[in-house]
Amino acid sequence: MRLDKYISDSTPYSRKEIKKLIKEGAVAVNDITAAKPDIQICENDDVTINGEAVNYTKYVYLIMNKPQGYISATEDRHYKVVTELVPEKYAHYNVFPVGRLDIDTEGLLILTNDGALDHAVTSPKKNVYKRYFARLDRSAEKKDIESFAAGMKFKEFTSKPARLEICDDPHEVYVEIAEGKYHQVKRMFERVGKTVVYLKRTAIGRLALPEELKPGELVEIDKNEIVMLLETNK
Interface residues with ligand URA (CB under 6 A) are: 101-102, 105, 183-186, 199
| Residue 102 designated active-site | yes
Query: Terminal CA-to-CA distance of the chain, rounded, Å?
Result: 38
Cα–Cα distance between 189 and 144 in angstroms, integer? 9
Q: List all residues 6 or more positions away from 169 whose beta carbon is below 8 Å from its beta carbon.
A: none
- Identify the H or E element spanning 170: none
- The dihedrals phi and psi of 108, each to the nearest 5 degrees, come to -65, 120
Task: Give least dist CB 182 to ligand URA, A.
Answer: 8
How many Cα atoms occupy the beta-carbon half-sphere of 96 within 13 Å? 13
Indicate which residue of 9, 102, 118, 169 is catalytic.
102
Compare residues 10 and 184 and give the one whose CB is closer to ligand URA: 184
Q: Quick check: 26 and 184 in contact, CB under 8 A?
A: no
Task: Give least dist CB 224 to ligand URA, A.
Answer: 27
Burial of 89 (0-12, 13-18, 19+ CB in 10 A): exposed
Nearest to 234 by CA among 178, 150, 184, 166: 178
Cα–Cα distance between 49 and 98 in angstroms, integer? 33
Compare residues 49 and 131 and give the one whose CB is closer to ligand URA: 131
Task: Give least dist CB 168 to ligand URA, A.
Answer: 23
Task: Give least dist CB 179 to ligand URA, A.
Answer: 9
